[in-house]
Structure 1
Amino acid sequence: MAALCRGRHRWKRINILNVFTRSLTGKFDYDLLVIGGGSGGLSCSKEAAQLGQKVAVLDYVEPSAKGTKWGLGGTCVNVGCIPKKLMHQAALLGTAVKDAKKYGWQISETVSHDWATMAEAIQNHVRSLNWGHRVQLQDKKVKYLNLKGSLVDEHTVRGLTKAGKGTILTAKNIVIATGGRPNYPTNIPGAMEHGITSDDIFWLKKSPGKTLVVGASYVALECAGFLTGIGLDTTVMVRSIALRGFDRQMAGLVTDYMEAYGTSFAWKSIPKRVEKLSSGALQVTWTDTQTGREHKDTYDSVLWAVGRAPETKTLGLDKLGVELNEESGKIVVGADESTSVPNIYAFGDIGEGRPELTPTAVKAGKLLARRLAGQSTEVMNYDNVPTTVFTPLEYGCVGLSEEEAETRHGKDGIEVYHAFYKPLEFTVAERDAGQCYIKVVCERGGDQKILGLHFTGPNAGEVTQGFSMGLQCGATYSHLLQTVGIHPSCAEEVVKINITKRSGLDPTVTGC
């Protein structure tokens, strides 16, 4: 205890000396110090360095509850977008192999999937990205520090090594870009002891086998989709609704396709406990909230996808008076990413009300760096940000959902154009296209400005990306009609769309 007290007094003396020295010299170790080495933090730091700022990045990954850890690059690179998309691609290739027979390919042997081969290749790619980020920081003269950072004051950060050795760093401005981590439910016995999260699934050496995915966010559905696609028995347990925050009709199409694709759904169900049997299997007990009945089944893996929590607890924000949203735990930020404390900024997933998307964090980080360097006054525009859910049938969207448009403009103030279409690729393969659908939500009056665009089908991300620029430019329905489509493509169905929901006519596309 005496040693601990001496340690505290030593840090106090260092902090006082540090502040005193700064007040005399007016100098800092860095112009900008970024806490968090994810996509946003790296983007911000590299941009600042390019503009002549002296910059350091602190990044430290706390292992998951299962001990999974990874390198520089944050969630997207290590346990998010990149490995997710690659495993989604593995699943798409499995579907393509089935389609190939209809196209004349002679595939004589039984096709099976090997998890270890896929996982090793993806993990090696992620490691190459980790190394690439370190090289980029070095090339751009950004100091990379593998330290766990916490704030001492508005210009000072304490960094801790894995061994517990402390370092004091000062900066004119401090940026927090620590992102978030998956939640475990705290009221379900065995949840953490026997379950995994998205922090673990991409780094498993062995197949997860028969898997229960608890949750219905895009993370849950994407994971369930690629697990089903590579041939694993997969069930999604849904407490209330799927894809909360997305268009309701589109969410239903996504889950309908997944059920037809082979994923099982336990709707309106709440898990009660997870127990490990002597056989090694995990027995899950849950309640059907519609009937009140209790059910049990066994699984090889239980994947919790029940939300994410911001990485704010260890930053010392409360001592500095940085305002947090009490409910979400996220940092309250202004339009310029400023916090309630001068010289401290925050952006990305950790910011209250910000979309939890890599591209927005990357762009917001660059713009923040330019403003802090005095090179720009431009702030991030968070309107009409496109995104795609990489489920077996991909869902891309930009702008307002139909529900949001109704709330803002009234049911009589919007016009919804829609179409069910069949991708040409599905025809020979005899695949069901019942959930391939396009919806364009417009203002009803005037030029019929497009408020939102929604698309389910192959390559949804590629389709949505192009149309998202149109929304940024104020596209109208007449602009769509003036656009020449590329034939034959799925994207051309968007510019051909002409049936309104209000008309009650059949929106099924027939012919060219």
Structure 2
Amino acid sequence: MAALCRGRHRWKKTDCFHILTRALTGKHEYDLLVVGGGSGGLACSKEAAQLGQKVIVLDYVEPSVKGTKWGLGGTCVNVGCIPKKLMHQTALLGTAVKDAQKYGWNISGPVSHDWSTMADAIQNHVRSLNWGHRVQLQDKKVKYLNMKGSLLDEHTVKAVTKAGKETTLTAKNIVLATGGRPRYPTNIPGAMEHGITSDDIFWLKKSPGKTLVVGASYVALESAGFLTGLGLDATVMVRSIALRGFDQQMAGLVTDYMEAYGTRFAWNSLPKRVDKLSSGALQVTWVDTQTGAEQKDTFDSVLWAVGRAPETKALGLDKVGVQINEQTGKIVVREDESTSVPNIYAFGDIGEGRPELTPTAIQAGKLLARRLAGQGDELMNYDNVPTTVFTPLEYGCVGLSEEEAVRKFSKDGVEVYHAFFKPLEFTVAERDVSQCYLKVICERHRDQKILGLHFTGPNAGEVTQGFALGLQCGATYSHLQKTVGIHPTCAEEVTKVNITKRSGLDATVTGC
């Protein structure tokens, strides 16, 4: 151990003191040390504390390139799920106001939206959640430090304050749950200097105005969707396909609806540079990948939504030998969330091959805490995790996409039941229903086990959540047929679906 302290890492005397003391006594300051105060890290720490563990959480938010910073709670609370859903709701309310007139409501005068009023309300709600998380940790006797954490060995972490003050902490087990941050493209002049990301959009005090959203992930489409719904000019620049990794038929329905809704799309386009003009406007130059033609347009804001990078670089993983995937930067984890180094665990967005979803991180964190406390042995089940894309026409799904099912079972081994349906609430408002669609993907043979369910329509998340339970329980198409629907709802259409793609029959639902 003394040799280690004299080695290439050049440990400070205080670090060596903690390491040597722990080695000699076999005692640690904490049972569990969690690096990362996002949804997963908080869930893990609180669960462990309830099971009698002595727990500490380190969390520190590096400001975004544009200087945006926030409090405890991670991406979901501050710059993800929560503000995103509230801005989506704001946009839905705008559409509802238009629909209301068809239902007899007298709307006097022009309807307009004030960004600052919405932003203040949402940001105040987020701050209340930040405070709530701190109170919960205190109530559950979890120590919280607003400090950066990095590994010194399998039981030791160096914690550093904003001012640079260092502390060394030891724990029996260390959990890494630092999540990820949006990427900027590194090969486009002006991208970082003039662009923003999802780390910034939700904390803007003023409207972003005419906005170019670069990327076709769910983050890109959701952002462009609510901007359009707020009455702003929004364009999505797509290199190849939208919603990569999702069912591509459903992705097409989502983007078709968005185009009809008013969102512009620049398909097969690659940005080359962003320049700020003397007027203050941002001039974006891009290339059509099919024709090679160069195009330009000006925008008030450019939002980069081209993927996320795991927050692993500052964790000191190389010092202790934690294995990462060199291409993705994510930590290689086993099914029990353990890493290549004993007593060090990782889960959530930084885990290689793990879904980047808040609920999976929360569940994985709780189960890990129980295992580490010797109070359980259940592993996280990452199969059949439901999710929803909160675009203007919402898209919910659980299980396999049609492409995945065909790859796994062959085209002849899969039966797809589908339906185009008309939400009752769209009828009086005379809204376009051509993209309201659902499909249930089943094994064709044996008992026709349901492999995947996909739904585009109102309240897609609420619809999908209930059916996700069925997939967890091994539901079959026969189970679905025996389920009585609630009338009149969109969800009941799932229980009534009976036309197969293979048949070639018209899948449009008629009647009630």
The CA distance in 2 between the partners of 1:99 and 1:81, in whole Å, is 26
Instruction: Give 1:37-52 correspondences, 5 Å limit.
Output: 37-52=37-52
Structure-2 change in CA distance of 1:376 and 1:10 (3 Å): same
Using the alignment, how far apart are the partners of 1:73 and 1:17 within structure 2?
Answer: 33
Change (3 A) 1:9 1:395: closer
User: CA separation in 1, counterparts of 2:426 and 2:408?
Assistant: 37
Deviations 1:221-243 (A, max 9, x none): 00000000000000000001000
Q: Which residue of 2 aligns with 1:464?
A: 464
CA offsets per residue over residues 463-493 of structure 1, 9 Å max, x none? 0000000000000000010000000000000
1:202-226 CA-to-partner distances (Å, cap 9, x unmatched) read: 0000000000000000000000000
Aligned position for 1:441:
441
Q: CA deviation at 1:299?
A: 0.2
Report the count of equivalent residues.
505
Give the C-alpha shift of residue 10 in structure 1: 8.8
Distance 2:252 2:116 in 1: 33
CA distance in 2, matches of 1:384, 1:219: 21
1:372 matched to which residue of 2? 372
Which residue identity lines up with residue 92 of structure 1 in the other structure? L
**2 CA distance for matches of 1:16 and 1:307?**
39
- Show the counterpart of 1:169: 169
In structure 2, the residue corresponding to 1:463 is in which secondary structure? helix
Deviation of 1:146 (Å): 0.4
Question: Per-residue deviation at 1:85?
Answer: 0.0
- Aligned residue type for 1:373: A
CA distance in 2, matches of 1:374, 1:10: 36
Q: Secondary structure of the residue that 2:315 maps to in structure 1?
A: coil
- The match for 1:251 is 251
Is 1:335–2:335 an aligned residue pair? yes
User: Are residue 60 (structure 1) and residue 60 (structure 2) matched?
Assistant: yes
Residue 326 (str. 1) matches residue 333 (str. 2): no
* Aligned counterpart, 1:265: 265
Query: Partners of 2:429 and 2:183 in 1: how far apart?
Result: 40
* 2-structure distance, mates of 1:72, 1:248: 36
Query: Where does residue 5 of structure 1 map in the other structure?
Result: none
2:497 aligned partner: 497
Aligned partner of 2:511 in structure 1 is: 511
What secondary structure sits across from 1:355 in the alignment? coil
**Structure 2 match to 1:412:** 412
> 2:288 & 2:20 partners in 1: Cα distance?
62
Q: Distance in 2 between matches of 1:495 and 1:214?
A: 38
Query: Letter of the aligned partner of 2:43 in structure 1?
Result: S
Percentage of pairs with the same residue: 85
TM-score in terms of structure 2 length: 0.98
Q: How does 1:390-405 map to 2 (within 5 A)?
A: 390-405=390-405
Tell me the SS of whatever aligns to 2:314.
coil
- Aligned residue for 2:95, secondary structure, equals helix
Kindly indicate whether residue 212 of structure 2 is the aligned counterpart of residue 212 of structure 1. yes
RMSD: 0.9
What secondary structure is seen at the aligned counterpart in 2 of 1:303?
A: strand
Name the aligned partner's letter for residue 33 of structure 2.
Answer: L
Distance 1:201 1:312 in 2: 24
| Distance across 2 between alignment mates of 1:228 and 1:429 | 19
Partner of residue 3, structure 1:
none
1:367 is matched by which residue type in structure 2? Answer: L
**CA deviation profile, 1:327-368 (whole Å, cap 9, x unmatched):** 110000000000000000000000000000000000000000
Counterpart of 2:291 in structure 1 is 291
Alignment of 1:66-81 (within 5 A): 66-81=66-81
**What is the letter of the counterpart of residue 68 of structure 2?**
T
1:15 shift after superposition? 2.1
Q: Deviations over 1:285-333 (max 9, x none)?
A: 0000111000000000000000000000000001111000111100000
For residues 414-468 of structure 1, the C-alpha deviation after alignment (integer angstroms, 9 at most, x for no partner) is 1000000000000000000000000000000111000000000000000000000
Alpha-carbon offset, residue 9 of structure 1: 9.9
Aligned partners of 2:221, 2:447: CA distance in 1, in Å?
37
Q: What's the offset of the Cα at 1:128? A: 0.1
CA distance, structure 2, for counterparts of residue 362 and residue 331 of structure 1: 18
Work out the CA distance in 1 between the residues paired with 2:66 and 2:282. Answer: 16
Q: Name the aligned partner's letter for residue 23 of structure 1.
A: A
Give 1:12 shift.
2.5
Q: Residues 378-430 of structure 1, C-alpha deviation per residue, up to 9 Å, x if partnerless?
A: 00000000000000000000000000000000000010000000000000000
| 1:99 and 2:99 matched | yes
How many angstroms apart in 2 are the aligned matches of 1:109 and 1:371?
60
Is the partner of 2:313 in helix, strand or coil?
coil
Contact persistence 2:28–2:170 (CA under 8 A): yes
For residues 56-86 of structure 1, the C-alpha deviation after alignment (integer angstroms, 9 at most, x for no partner) is 0000000000000000000000000000000
Structure 2 unaligned residues grouped into runs of 5+? 1-7
**1:116-131 counterparts in 2 under 5 A?**
116-131=116-131
Amino acid at match of 1:226: F
Q: Aligned residue for 2:5?
A: none
Q: 1:225 corresponds to which residue?
A: 225
Question: Deviation above 3 Å: which 4+ runs of structure 1?
Answer: 8-11
CA-CA distance at 1:14 after TM superposition = 1.8
Q: Which 10-residue stretch deviates more, 321-330 or 72-81? A: 321-330
Residue type at the aligned position of 1:232: L
2:235 is aligned with 1:199: no
Letter in 1 for 2:420: F
